[in-house]
Structure 1
Amino acid sequence: MLRLVLILLLLPSLSQAACRQALSLGLDVSGSVDDQEYRLQLDGVIAALTAPPVQDILFLQPDAPIRIHVFEWSGPVDHTVIVPWTALRTPADLAQVTARLRTHTRAEQAPTTAIGSAILAGFSALEQHSDCWKRTLDLSGDGENNVGPLPESISDGLRPSDVIVNGLVIGAGDLGGDDERFMDVKRLSSYYSANVIRGPGAFVEVALGYEAYAAAMERKLLRELASIVLGSTNLPD
């Protein structure tokens, strides 16, 4: 509560911002994601966006809103926009976003996992939002790149200025137990940390499996969105 009060006190200083943050969420729909896991992923985004602590931040300053964009990715050219860029000024705006997520039908996608191509697709989407104070690309995934450009080969020269790339890695659902899932997600988290995320303060969030995706997405959003306001201050935690 104290942190939220401090955020509210800071809002007048942000009144000149056209947009607090442009946030693009890229969801893995490659062959390793079955229909149940796909639905858990979409429902997890809905649950995270509508969680009261997240909404408290989303609607803090309607005249400088957060803009959100959601797309799904798999192969090098398989990118489908689920939610086009939408400014979140009111709960009605958020309801439009969640309705699109709830009614979206999975597009036909390649079985491969082209993380590098997904990064480039996210950069292209974010490039048009240079008026935002912060621009963030979030990639969720449950496997390593296996086709197309390697994510580590994408130079900073191709990254729009100040864009941050974060990751949300998901433990494989077909493993025998939590110990195996933990080792799998630890390995994938290390891969994302070394090759995928980039920019100041970039981080990797983890979900032990798709059933834990909603909670992981909420943690990630709270960390990202709160930093929009607190990141430019010298306030202690």
Structure 2
Amino acid sequence: MVRAFALLATLFVGGPANAACHLALALALDVSSSVDDAEYQLQRDGLASALLSENVQDAFFAHPGDWVSLAVYEWSGRYQHAVVLDWIEIRDPEALFSAAEKIAAAKRSHSEFPTAMGYALGYSASLFAKAPRCDRATLDVSGDGVNNDGFAPHLAYSAFPLNNVTVNGLVIGGADPEVQQFYLSDVIRGPGAFVVLAQNYHAFEEAMESKLIREIGVMTLGMDTEHLPHGGG
């Protein structure tokens, strides 16, 4: 009887029963052989710093009681994938700081393998299969090259259950039109999908911050993603 009363009280005051995960967000970091150790550190530390920026924190916590579930993995060759941060519910600043600390402390998983984008996208399907139930799902893929190993992205999309996942891209070394076009034509997918450009690894943090604000803001504020630009910086 007491338990039932407590449940009813929770429902009437709009407590945790009304809370929701608005977004399952997976971030994929390129650790292929084209990324040297200094560039890897700029990418890893840039992500950790971007997550803790004031504007990104504002996006995470714009709606008290609702949250984003976050995961991070590294990708390179066909079978070279490593989870840096397993799914964590970002319900408060402490959880976000904990996530950023784990990312900043990560050790590079691989460094001698090519760029297998199709396999990287396929791997995300297994990660999303373990994600908490959320209103939306987004994969955020960062990289500095085109697919040069294994199957192409379109085969990943036809073979793996990613129909409900929006895929956005962050192109590093955005001065190379080939890489940008590859992401625009082959990688990004879903309503409102977009590409952000970082001219080099030193610009990665700023580009990631902008990208996170856009991804989290769209998902948490319920904006019309159908009318967002398809790509650009």
TM-score, with structure 2 as normaliser: 0.84
* TM-fit CA distance, 1:53: 0.8
- Give the share of equivalent positions with the same residue, in percent: 41
Taking only aligned residues, the RMSD between alpha carbons, in angstroms, comes to: 2.4
8 Å Cα contact 2:32/2:110 also seen in 1: no
Q: 1:29 aligns with which of 31, 45, 70?
A: 31
Write the deviation string for residues 40-97 of structure 1: whole angstroms up to 9, x where unpaired: 0011101211110110111234532101000001111100111111111111111111
What are the within-5 Å matches in structure 2 for residues 1-237 of structure 1?
Answer: 16=18, 18-129=20-131, 131-156=133-158, 158-171=160-173, 182=175, 184=176, 186-232=177-223
CA gap of 1:36–1:29, structure 2 versus 1, over 3 A, is same
3-state SS of 2:147 partner: coil
| Matches of 1:108 and 1:233, distance apart in 2 | 38
In 1, Cα distance between equivalents of 2:85 and 2:28: 11
Structure 1 gaps, min length 5: 1-11, 172-180
Question: Is the Cα contact below 8 Å between 2:21 and 2:135 reproduced in 1?
Answer: yes
Partner of 2:196, secondary structure, is strand
The Cα offsets for residues 100-141 of structure 1, whole Å up to 9 and x where unpaired, read as: 112111123442111111101112211333621110001100
| Closer/same/farther in 2, CA of residues 157 and 146 from structure 1, 3 Å limit | closer
The answer to whether the 8 A contact 1:78-1:110 is kept is no
Aligned to 1:129, the other structure's residue is in SS state: coil
Q: Is the 8 A contact 1:166 1:204 kept in 2?
A: yes
TM score, norm. by length of structure 1: 0.83
Q: Distance in 1 between matches of 2:147 and 2:161?
A: 19
Rg (Cα) greater in structure: 2
Evaluate the alpha carbon distance shift between residue 19 and residue 70 of structure 1 in structure 2; reply closer, same or farther with a 3 A threshold.
Answer: same
- How far is the alpha carbon of 1:37 from its aligned partner? 0.2
SS state at 2:47 partner: helix
Consecutive unaligned residues of structure 2, counting only runs of 5 or more, are 1-13, 229-233
Secondary structure at 2:212's aligned position in 1? helix
What do residues 120-164 of structure 1 show as CA deviations (whole Å, max 9, x unaligned)?
111221133362111000110000111111112223462334210
Go from structure 1 to structure 2 and tell me whether the alpha carbon gap of 1:81 and 1:62 turns closer, same or farther (over 3 Å shift): farther
- Give secondary structure in 2 for the equivalent of 1:65: strand
Instruction: Report the Cα distance in structure 1 between the residues aligned to 2:131 and 2:164, rounded to whole angstroms.
Output: 11
Cα 1:119–1:17, aligned 2, differ >3 Å: closer, same or farther?
farther
How many residues get paired? 213
